Amino acid sequence: MHIHRWAGGLVVQAPAKLNLFFEVLARRGDGYHEIETLMCPIDLFDTLHFQENSTGQMRLECRRVSGAGDRGLREMPEGAENLVMRAIELLRRRSGVSRGARLLLIKRIPAAAGLGGGSSDAAAALVAANEGWRLGRTREELAQWAAELGSDVPFFLAGGPAVCRGRGERVEPIPNVKTMCFVVVRPPAGLSTVAVYGACRPAARPQVIRPLLDALQRGDWKQVGGQLHNRLQPVAEVLSPWVKQLQGEFSRLECLGHGMSGSGTSYFGLCRHARHARRSARRLMAKGFDAVFTVRSCR
């Protein structure tokens, strides 16, 4: 997450994420699932502009970047139900302040895609308000409040790749991971996270994350590609024909590994280098996919 100050306020770049590993361990009594996942931020960003005002009122405007490949963003909520507004209001309540702000959210990350756009936006709102209002809250405090907003939100405060456990709120950053190149596709239709989790059975024999972590630390991308795993993908393939179709398309791209991100429907391939990612993107666009992104992992 990148923060830039300007004379009128702050600009925060909120990254998308990919799940390189996703295991469902158990159903919890609180309605969530116990998971173990390895998430990696990528340089596909939403942009949040924050400008303080003295009225005490909050105003959010959302704009969709043309070509983001998500028709649903035209109806994106701008009121209290938006995660950005919920994050700001939570911070105001916890900090006991009544300051106002004008917010502009520029959306590039497709929704209902398993890329974490809404969660990243919420984390960006917490960071922007904390900095813009000069509240001085620590990252640990922000992470605690972030967990109240959504399971993925604390990850985006970690600043890089991380293993997330519990329902996703327990975050363990992974240091010294070299840059990876990916091609990502968001097909024309998304999936409901609730529906995907509801149809998924926890693993009888969970896949072990350690070989993937060791390969990441060595920078052995071939081994990393071979260790990609997502327990939710077989369920998503039943619920959406797009996931199975993308699996077939990516199998012909000579990627080091490929798989679905989160609860889908976005699909990604780990590429050998940036040229390979660009070449793969051209082939996918020639197949008629319009939401295709070449990205790198980032901090």
d(CA 94, CA 126): 11
Task: Enumerate the β-bridge partners of residue 9.
Answer: 6
Residue 225's nearest CA partner among 212, 209, 236 is: 212
Catalytic residue among 17, 46, 70, 107: 17
DSSP 207-271: PPSHHHHHHHHHT-HHHHHHT-EETTHHHHHHH-HHHHHHHHHHHTTT-SEEEE-TTSS-EEEEE
Q: Quick one: 165 exposed, middle or buried, by C-beta within 10 A (0-12, 13-18, 19+)?
A: middle
d(CA 115, CA 18): 6
Residue ranges in 62-149 assigned as alpha helix (H): 83-95, 117-132, 139-149
**Is 17 among the residues known to form the active site?**
yes
Cβ contacts of 101 within 8 Å, gap of 6 or more: 9, 50, 51, 52, 53, 58, 59, 88, 129, 132, 133
Catalytic residue among 70, 152, 220, 287: 152
Q: Quick one: 6 exposed, middle or buried, by C-beta within 10 A (0-12, 13-18, 19+)?
A: exposed
Residue 104's nearest CA partner among 11, 242, 232, 7 is: 11
Catalytic positions are 17, 152
